Copies of this chain bind each other. A is one copy, B any other.
């Protein structure tokens, strides 16, 4: 069950085999990919379908790829990623100057292509960036931007270092973090190995996030190691 509509991508690529490969890989990663193999149709298709991102091969039959990019850019605001075998710095510079947002040279590791697509979408989508930086763990929501934390949509007040500590734990959810690591990350100075202030701070923090120290659900103690933030807790 998926309430979030898939992101629509248009893949302008004439090599059938490659197009299919990319299509399948991206589809498997929850994108809605359509393929266009003729350069003459790309502009029309883009304007009609307004995909959230365009992947553009430069070597299409029909209209020249760089020209497509240049023509379409003024009318199309979503990211354009050029994916091409043309490994030329000049083409790359031209492509970017014509308004492309990224230029990836074939053959490319699919994971790299995916990561770059995501980076572009994250940057382009006003909520995307938020979605990236806002940490959500069921009833607990952390907004690093405004240094705000919510529990059941209720804002709670944390001190600066408490917030920092929680953020670091949450950002590394599921990973055990040593006192030393936490101390350095929060206070930006060396840890002498005796200091208990992290313990105290954890104790306070648990209170604030309504976590019972005797049986913590969110911030668990890993005896002899440190603390770990549990993703699954409510």
Contact = CB atoms under 8 A, between A and B. Distances in A.
Contact of A115 (B93, B124, B132): B93
A43 to B, nearest CB: 9
A146 B224 contact: no
Contacts of A119: 96, 100-102
A197 to B, nearest CB: 15
Nearest to A119: B96
A70 to B, nearest CB: 7
- Which of A96, A129, A161 gathers the greatest number of chain B CB atoms within 10 Å? A96
A contacts with B: majority SS: helix
A74 B225 contact: no
A38 interface: no
Interface of A: 70-71, 73-75, 77, 79, 89, 92-93, 96-97, 99-102, 109, 111-112, 114-116, 118-119, 123-124, 129, 132-133, 144-147, 159-161, 167, 171, 174-176, 185, 220, 222-225, 228, 230-231
